[in-house]
Structure 1
Amino acid sequence: MQERLCEWYSLDPSMVRVITPDVGGGFGAKASVYPEETLVPWLARAVGRPVRYTETRSESMNGLGHGRAQTQKLTIGGSRDGRVTAYQLDVVQDAGAYPRIGAILPFMTRMMLTGVYDIAAAELSSAAVVTNTVPIVAYRGAGRPEAAAAIERAMDLFAAEIGMDPVDVRRRNLIAADRFPFTTVTGTTYDSGDYEGGLDKLLAAVDYAALRAEQQQRRDRGDIVQLGIGVSVYVEVTAMSGGGELGQVEVTPSPTGDGVAVRVVTGTTPYGQGHRTTWAMLVADTLGVPMDSITVIHGDTDLVARGSVTGGSRSVQLGGTNVARAATLVADQARSVAARLLEADVADVVITDGVFHVAGAPAISRTWTEIVAAAHTSSLTLFGEGDFEQAGGSFPSGAHLAVVELDTETGRAVLRQLVAVDDAGKIINPLLAEGQIHGGLAQGVAQALFEEFVYDADGNPLTSNFADYGIVSAAELPSFQTVHAETPSPLNDLGAKGIGESGTIGATPAVQSAVVDAVAHLGVRHIDMPCTSQRVWTAMQAAAAN
C-alpha cells in the first residue's frame, strides 16, 4: 500500500504511513491495492480534511476480487490394474473485467497438475479470458485447489471406469516416500512428503470398510437417503517463490525497572493467523523469558522497515525463521556478556529458564536483568536480525475423507463426517494450526456445497448479498476430526511448511466426490461444484432419462 501510494502521488516513503489494524481475514482478496483505496488520499487533498472509505456488504461482494472461476476439461488414461499413465487438463480461466491475476492462476494450477501422483505423461493447456464480471484474484489456495479438484475428480472417474475402489487407485499411483526431493513431469520439485503415510493415517482414523458396507446396505434397500464417501489426497505449494521476511529481536530494560522487555519486529502482517503468539513462543523458547515480556510489532510502516504480503502460507517459514534466528543472535550476545560476568568461557555458558550459568554449575548464575544492565553499561545493544532466505517453496500434503447423506427426492446433501490428515512439517503452535485447518475445511466445504457467485446473461450480479449467496455456518458443519502428520521441510531452520490453505485444497474434492458417490449407483458420473440440491436433482433426472 505504501509503495503504491508513493508511486501514484510522487511522495517520499517518509511522507506516507500505513497502519494495518486487525483485519479479520484476507484470504488473498485483500493482498492487493484496490482503486478505491488509492483514490481516498486524492479526495482528502481535494476537500482538505480526512476521508474514510467504508463499503457496504453488497458493494464489497461486487467490488472485492472473486476467486476460482476455472472451467476444466480433463482426460485421464491408464491400465486396468489401476496405474495412471497419462493426464491432460484443459482450462479456461475467467479473468474478470480488469487485469488482476486471472492469467497467472492457471500457471499455479499447472505447477501442481499431477498432485501426489507419479504420472509419466501430463500436460495442461489454458486460456485466460476477459469477461464483464468482477476481476478474479487470489483466494485461499490460488490455483492449487483448482489443480487438486481436477486430479482428484479424474482419479474418481478413472476408478469408476475400471471398477476399482478409489482409495486403491490412489494408493497405486502415489509418489513413494523414499523418492523425495521429487520432481514432477511439469518440473515442480517437492521438498518432502509421505503421501501413503497420510492416507494410512486417514484410513486408521475411520472404519472405511464399515462405511462402504453401510452404503451398500442403503443401496440394496433402496433408501431415500443414500450415503456417499469421498476421499482426496493432496499436495500444495506454500511460500511459492521462497525468499525472506523481516525478523528483528531486541532486549532492553523493562520500563517499570523490573525485569526486561523484549521487542520483536516482523514484516509479516497477521490477520487471524496468530503471528504475535507464534513469534513470541519462538523468542520465549530461545531466550527463556516469559511470554508477557514480549511485544510483537507489525503492520506499521513507521515502525517496520520492510515487509511483504502475508499470503501463500509463507509466514512461519520465512518470518518465523528470521524471528527465531534473530532471537538466537541476541541469545549469543547475552551469553557473551554472561561469560564475562561469570568469568567463564562463552562456550560453557547456557541459558536455563531465563538464567545464565556455566553448564553443570547452576548455583552461580546471572539473570536477564543483570545481563541487560551489564550490556547497557558497556554500551552494547542486545539486538539481532534474521538473515534467512528460503530457496523455494515447501509442499504440505494430506488426505481427507468426507461422508455425506443425500436425499434422493430433493437432491439435498448433508455433510455427516469430515476427517482431515494434514502434514505441514513441524508445527510450532498446535492450537493455532488446528484453527487454520478448521477454517480451511469450512471454506472447502462451502465451495463444494454452497458458494457460487451468479450473473445473468448480461453480466448483472444475482447474488450480491447473503440473502442470495450461500454461505456456510456451524449449522451446516459436523465436528471435524483432524489428525496431524509431520514430515519436516529441509528448506528452513524450523522444518515448517504452510498450513493456512490446506483445508480448502483437500476438503473440497473430498466433499464433491462424496456427493457424486452417493448417487453413482443411479448412473450419475459427475456434478459440478457447488453441488446444490438443484444440480444434484438435475443430474439424477438426466441419468434416469438416459
Structure 2
Amino acid sequence: MSLIGQPVRRVEDRRLLTSGGTYTPDLAEPGCLHLVLVRSARAHARVSVGTARAEALGGVVAVLTGDDVDVPPVPPEVGTINQAMPQPLLAGQVVRYVGEPVAAVVATTAAVAADAAALVEVGYEDLPVVVDPAESAGGGVLLHPDAGTNVALKLTFARPPGRADIFAGCEVVVSLRMVNQRLSAAPLETRGGVARWDDGRLTYRAGGQAAHLWREKLAAALGVAEESVRVVTPDVGGAFGAKAFPGLEDILTAWAARRLGRPVRWTETRSENLVAGGHGRAQVQEATLGGTRDGRLLAYQLNVLQDVGAYPRIAAVLPFWTRTMLTGPYRIAKARFTAQCVVTNTAPVGSYRGAGQPEAVAALERMVDRFAAEIGCDPAELRRRNLIDEFPHTALTRAAYDSGDYHALLDRLLAASGYAGLRAEQARRRESGHPLQLGVGLSVFAEMTGADARPEHATAAWDGTRFEVWAGTGCTGQGHETSWAMLAADVLGVPVDLVDVRQGDTDALTAGGGTGGSRSLQTGGLAVRAAALALLDQAREHLPWAEVPPMRAEATYTPSGGTCSSGAHLAVVEVDTETGRVRVRRIVAVDDAGTILNPLLAEGQIHGGLAQGVGQALTEEVSYAGDGRPLHPTLAHYAFITAAELPSFETVTLETPAPGNPLGVKGLGESGAVGVPPAVQNAVVDALAHLGVRHLDMPATPEKVWRSLQRSLEAGT
C-alpha cells in the first residue's frame, strides 16, 4: 500500500520531546569567544563611539567599531532595488534606526561581553527622523543622501494598458485606505550563529532556512569563494521567512572570527529580535473596487506604499507578489497596481510567512466585503458570483493558476460552518441589542507556491542496513524528517523507520534551494523521491535489499513552474460593544493544496498559519513613536498570540492535484497566514456594521474597536 496520503506520525518528535533538539546555542566550540552588540538608542543621528572603558574590562578581547570593519557595506539582495542604500556591518558616522549595531564587544564569556557592552559610550547628534512612509516618500528627510531619494523601488501594472479610467461604466465604486501593519516573525528560537575559520575556510553554524543560500551570501559579503564556506544548520526553532538569509549580524560574527583568529559565537536576545530581528508586512494600501449593482466585479485598483525600513532588503521586492495575486480568485476584467517602496528610520523589513501575498489577499477580501455591504448583498453570494470557474486559468497579471475548484471551496466552507445558522443567530442578537454582537467574516484566496522554480537536490544511499537521504531543503518545524522518509520509503518499499533524513550541511550536499515560499514538498520532496527512484534502479538486479551492496544515488528535480494553492476561511467572532473586546469563537478553514502527502502534517501546518493569522488580525503590531523609538521592545509590549486567545480550529481539505508534478502536490505552509487575517477582520467589521462601523484596520484591539464604535455612534446622533 502506498504511503501517500497516510497519517504517519512525526518521526522527529521522539527526539525533540525526549533528548531534545540541537539548536545553535547547544553547539559546543572549544575556545569560543562571545560577541555582544551595542545597538543605537537613536533612530537617526551622527554618532561617536568611545571604547576605552569597555576595553579595560577583564576578559574583553576586542571592541570593534565601524572604523575596524574592512568589508564593504552589504547591498540589497536584489539588483533592481536601489543599490545606493547598502547597510554597513557596524554603523559608521550615521545611524538610521533604533537597534542598528554601532559596536561589537568580543569577550571570553557572554556575561563579560554584555557587561562590557554596557560600558561602550555612544555619543549622538540627532538628525531629523521620518517613520511615516508617506512622509518619507515626500523626500523631506533623506536617509541615504548619496541615493538622492528615499524610494528604493517602484512597480506598476495596468490591464488594459494605458491611462483610461478603468472604472468607467461601473455602477458602484468603493474605496478604502488600509494599513497592513508591521509584524514581528517572533520565532521560538532567536537568531544566532557560531563561526570558525580553519586554513582560510569558514564553517558557520546557524539556524537558517537555506544552508546553500546562506553559503552564497556569506561568501559574497566576506569576499571569498563559495568553496571556502561551509554552512551547517542544526535544528531550527521557527523561521517564518526571518531566517531566509544571513543577517548582518551573522556576517559580522564570521568577519570577527576571521579577524581575531578564534571561534566566535553570537546569540540574539529576545528584545533584540523584537526590535531588529525580522519584521514583515508594513504596507499602506489604497484600494478601489468597482462593479454592477447586481454584484459583478469589473475593475480593481491597488496602490501600495511599502515601508522597507532604514535599509532596503528583500521587502522592497515583495510588492511584486502583491501585484502577482492582485485579482485573487475572481474574474475581474480590469486592474491597476502601483507600488512605491520607501526607506524610513525603522528596522529593516524582510519576508514573513506569505511574503507579499497575504497583503494582496487582505486588501482584496476586505474590498469584496465593503462592496457587498454597499450593494446590500450577502458577502458569500457576492464571492460566488465572481469566482473563477475554469482551469487552468491565466490571471490578468499573467499568474498561472494550474488547478482548483473555488466554488467547491466556498460550498464546503458554508456547509461546514453552518453559515445560514450563523446569520440567523447574528440577526437575533442584533434585534435584541445584545452587548455581545456576533460577526461572521469570509475570505477566499489563491496563492502561488513554489513559484521561484529553482531546482532542488537530493541524494539517497543504502549502507547495507539502513537508508539515508540528504535534501537541500531546510526544516524549521514542518516535519521534513517524516515527509522525506515517507517519500523514500514509498519508492523503496521499506518501512519509514528504516530511512534516516539529513539536511543542512553544504559539504554533505553541495547544492540546494532551501525552504521558503511553500516550496519544500513540491521541490525538495520530489528531489528526494527522484533520488530514491535512482537508487532503486541501481539495486534492481539485487533482491532482496539484504543482498544489495552499499550504494548511493543523487538527483536534481527542476519544477516546471509554480503551483496555485487556494482556500476559503471563515471566522466567527463576538465583539463586546461595551468594552471593544473581540473573542474568536470559531475558525473554519477549507484548503486545497493538491495531493496531501500526510494529513497530520498538513493539519499542523494549517494550524500554525491560522494562529499567526489571528495574531495579525487581533493583537500583534510592531509600532514606533514619532521619534523612531520602538514601542514593542519585549513580549510584554508585543502582544504575541497565545492558545488562550484561540479556539479549536476546524479544518477541511479539498484535493485538486497539480498537473505539473508527479505527485500533484502544492504548497500549504502559508495558507493560514494568508487567508484568516481578512476573515477575522471582516468578522469584526461585520459584527458592528449595523452600528455604523465601516472599516477597522488590523489589529482589532479592544481600544481600537471601542473608539471606532464610539465615533460611529456619535456620528449617528
TM-score scaled by length of structure 2:
0.69
Match of 1:48 among 261, 274, 280: 261
Deviation of 1:303 (Å) = 0.8
Separation in 2 of the partners of 1:511 and 1:528?
11
Q: Equivalent residue for 1:497?
A: 666
Query: Following superposition of structure 1 onto structure 2, how do residues 81-160 of structure 1 map, counting pairs within 5 Å?
Result: 81-160=294-373
Match of 2:483 in 1: 278
The aligned amino acid for 1:79 is T
Inter-CA distance 45–241: structure 2 relative to 1 (3 Å threshold): closer
One-letter amino acid of the counterpart of residue 539, structure 1: S
Partner AA of 1:274 in structure 2: G
Shift of 1:15: 3.6
Distance in 2 (CA, whole Å) between partners of 1:526 and 1:268 is: 41
| Aligned partners of 2:218 and 2:246 also within 8 Å | no
Distance 1:45 1:330, change over 3 A: closer
- In structure 2, the gaps of 5 or more residues are 1-213
* 1:361-510 → structure 2 map (5 Å cutoff): 366-370=543-547, 372-373=548-549, 381=551, 383-510=552-679
What amino acid is aligned across from residue 286 of structure 2 in structure 1?
A: K
- Any idea what SS the aligned residue of 2:332 has? coil
Task: Output one character per residue of 1:46-94: Cα deviation in whole Å (capped at 9) or x when no partner.
Answer: 3332211011111111121210000111111111111101111111111
Q: Separation in 1 of the partners of 2:623 and 2:321?
A: 25
Contact 1:97–1:133 under 8 Å retained in 2: yes
User: What's the counterpart of residue 73 of structure 1?
Assistant: 286
The answer for the alignment partner of 1:294 in structure 2 is: 499
Q: CA-to-partner distance for each residue in 1:318-337, whole Å, 9 max, x for gaps?
A: 111111112112222222x1
CA distance in 2, matches of 1:333, 1:33: 38
On the 8 A contact 2:327/2:335 being kept in 1, the answer is: yes
In structure 2, C-alpha distance between the alignment counterparts of 1:439 and 1:10, rounded to whole Å:
39
Q: 1:64 aligns with which of 265, 277, 302?
A: 277
**2:458·2:509 contact (CA, 8 Å) conserved in 1?**
no
Indicate yes or no: 2:403 matched with 1:192. yes
Which range is displaced more, 386-395 or 206-215? 386-395
Query: What's the secondary structure of 2:448's corresponding residue?
Result: coil
Counterpart amino acid of residue 101 in structure 1 = I
Please name the residue that 1:167 is paired with: 380
Contact 1:297/1:303, CA 8 A, preserved across alignment: no
Provide the secondary structure at the position in 2 that maps to 1:30.
coil
Q: Distance in 1 between matches of 2:673 and 2:609?
A: 5
Contact 1:444 1:506 in 2 (8 A): yes
Please name the residue that 2:508 is paired with.
303
Q: Which has the higher helix share?
A: 1
* Residue 246 (structure 1) aligned with residue 457 (structure 2): yes
CA distance in structure 2 between the aligned counterparts of 1:413 and 1:201, rounded to whole angstroms: 26
- Unpaired runs of 5+ residues, structure 1, are 255-260, 339-365
Displacement after TM superposition at 1:22 (Å)? 0.8
Match of 1:8 among 206, 215, 221: 221
More moved, 37-46 vs 311-320: 37-46
Q: 1: distance between equivalents of 2:665 and 2:299?
A: 33
Deviation digits for residues 96-129 of structure 1 (CA, Å, limit 9, x no counterpart): 1001123211111010001110100111111111
Cα separation, 2, equivalents of 1:387 and 1:269: 16
Preserved CA contact (<8 Å) 2:454 2:513? no
Post-superposition Cα deviations, 1:23-50, rounded to whole Å, max 9, x if no partner, equal 1111001101111111112222333322
Q: 1:224 aligns with which of 435, 455, 471?
A: 435
Per-residue deviation, 1:168 = 0.1
C-alpha root-mean-square deviation of aligned residues, in Å?
1.2
Aligned residue for 1:363? none
Partner of residue 518, structure 2: 313
Cα distance in 1 for partners of 2:664, 2:555 equals 16
Give the match for residue 347 of structure 1. Answer: none
Check the 8 A contact 1:243/1:392 in 2, yes or no.
no
CA–CA distance in structure 1, aligned partners of residues 221 and 581 of structure 2: 51
Deviation at 1:390, TM superposition (A): 1.1
Q: Is the 8 A contact 1:329 1:385 kept in 2?
A: yes
Residue of 673, 681, 701 corresponding to 1:512? 681
Q: Partner of 2:26 in structure 1? A: none
Confirm or deny: 8 A CA contact 1:281 1:291 kept in the other structure: yes
SS at match of 2:463: strand
Quote the Cα distance in structure 2 between the aligned partners of 1:111 and 1:9: 34
Give distance in 2, aligned partners of 1:49 and 1:333: 45
Instruction: Tell me the alpha carbon deviations over residues 507-534 of structure 1, each in whole angstroms, 9 at most, x when there is no partner.
Output: 1110000000000000111000001111
Residue 248 of structure 2 aligns with which residue? 35
Q: Give the Cα separation in 1 of the matches to 2:215 and 2:375.
A: 56
- Measured after TM superposition, the shift of residue 300 of structure 1 is 0.9
Q: Deviations over 1:352-401 (max 9, x none)?
A: xxxxxxxxxxxxxx42102x14xx6xxxx4x3323321122111001011
Secondary structure of the 1:272 match is coil
CA distance in 2, matches of 1:445, 1:8: 38
Question: Which 4+ stretches in 1 moved above 6 angstroms?
Answer: none
The residue type paired with residue 474 of structure 2 is: T
Relative to structure 1, the CA distance from residue 9 to residue 208 in structure 2 (aligned partners, 3 Å threshold; closer, same or farther) is: closer
**Does the Cα contact within 8 Å between 1:448 and 1:508 map onto a contact in 2?**
yes
Q: Compute the displacement of 1:409 (Å).
A: 0.7
Contact 1:488 1:496 in 2 (8 A): yes
Aligned-partner Cα distance in 1 for 2:514–2:495: 29
Inter-partner Cα distance in structure 1 for 2:539 and 2:315: 50
TM-superposed CA distance for 1:14, in Å, is 4.2
Instruction: Report deviation, 1:188.
Output: 1.2
CA deviations 1:275-314 (Å, max 9, x no partner) are: 1110100111111112222111110112111112310000
Partners in 2 of 1:22 and 1:419 — Cα distance? 31
Contact 1:313 1:499 in 2 (8 A): yes
Tell me, yes or no, if the aligned pair for 1:237 and 1:394 is still in contact at 8 Å: yes
CA drift of 1:12 comes to: 4.0
Q: 2-side partners of 1:526 and 1:77: how far apart? A: 18
Partners in 2 of 1:241 and 1:59 — Cα distance?
31
CA distance in structure 2 between the partners assigned to 1:334 and 1:5 by the alignment: 39
Indicate the larger mover: 9-18 or 150-159. 9-18
TM-score in terms of structure 1 length:
0.90
